[in-house]
Amino acid sequence: MTARIIDGKALAQQVRERIAGEVAQLRDERGVTPGLAAVLVGEDPASQVYVGMKHRASEAAGLRSQQRVLAADTGQSELEELVAQLNEDDEVDGILVQLPLPDHLDPGPVQELIAPAKDVDALNPYTAGRLAVGDPTFLSCTPYGVLEILAHAGVELAGSHVVIVGRSNLVGRPLSVMMTLKGRDATVTVAHSRTRDLAGVCRTADVVVAAAGRIGLITADMVRPGATVIDVGTNRDDDGKLVGDVDFAGVVEVAGAITPVPGGVGPMTVAMLLQNTLEAARARRGLPRR
């Protein structure tokens, strides 16, 4: 059996086109152009690429996008002042502080400072708490993208067993909460580096989500025939090639459906950031969200 390959790039394009239509409608009917501000500190090449991608995607969808680039030696208070200023800026609906920050800066207080109404990256503990109590404001973009991919691929979550490998605040943990909310109704196991018999745990899954950041962690013997495998991992191999956490060549022969890397979850992460910014713009003006 060879798995169906889920094309995250094509789905992201569809989502972005839908968002562009909704942004145009909001502009025409209400005179509102949603705005996203991305803060980048320093010159980390990967962060520059990510912020650039988000900027281009925002502009292509008709959003107002601004990039605030601060020097690598920027102090904590200067960064926090910028966030406070963006909180007050009426043209800004969503604020994103690109991680990682340089070592001398503490991301925690910065994320906590982002106004919950503008927290489109969903890393403020308030936002995480709202999700934890089952009343989410914004869904963090990568897990949100995974949910959209599964819905689009027709994968039924209700009653199914999902194994998420990874428990970070960015991916694994929020995804586990989202999937167990009433209405999604999955039974979720969250695995991590201390999990005993990871292979055995994964073999019990209808859906495996790999979000560990370890090349080739998920191999064919760990996947039940017909299961869905979502690869969140983005790693560079020895040749500098972008690869996931899943041994794609082996797993594709066993799984029922699988996302590739690149072209799977990554493009959806950017699309969901645009979605959150649109939702923030609507919510701030008392308009119904999606």
User: Residues in the site for ligand NAP, rule: CB under 6 A?
Assistant: 142, 165-168, 170-172, 191-195, 198, 211-214, 217, 232-235, 265-266, 269
Question: Least distance to ligand NAP from the beta carbon of 82, Å?
Answer: 24
Alpha helix ranges (H) inside the chain: 8-30, 45-60, 76-88, 107-113, 125-132, 141-152, 172-180, 198-203, 248-251, 265-284
Would you call 54 a catalytic residue per the annotation?
yes
Q: Which is nearer to ligand NAP, 74 or 275 (CB)?
A: 275
What's the CA gap between 210 and 218, in Å, rounded? 7
What's the CA gap between 106 and 168, in Å, rounded? 17
Would you call 121 a catalytic residue per the annotation?
yes
93, 111, 119, 121: which is the annotated catalytic residue? 121
Question: Least distance to ligand NAP from the beta carbon of 31, Å?
Answer: 33
On the 0-12 / 13-18 / 19+ scale of CB atoms within 10 A, 38 is: buried
Question: Least distance to ligand NAP from the beta carbon of 190, Å?
Answer: 8
N-term to C-term CA, the chain: 38
Choose among 183, 152, 108: nearest CA to 259: 152
Choose among 64, 73, 76, 71: nearest CA to 38: 64
Question: Least distance to ligand NAP from the beta carbon of 200, Å?
Answer: 13
Q: Which is nearer to ligand NAP, 28 or 197 (CB)?
A: 197
Q: Which is nearer to ligand NAP, 116 or 216 (CB)?
A: 216
54, 93, 118, 275: which is the annotated catalytic residue? 54
Q: Which is nearer to ligand NAP, 3 or 217 (CB)?
A: 217
Residue 114 tokens read as: 């982002």
98, 119, 245, 247: which is the annotated catalytic residue? 98
Q: Which residues are catalytic?
A: 54, 98, 121
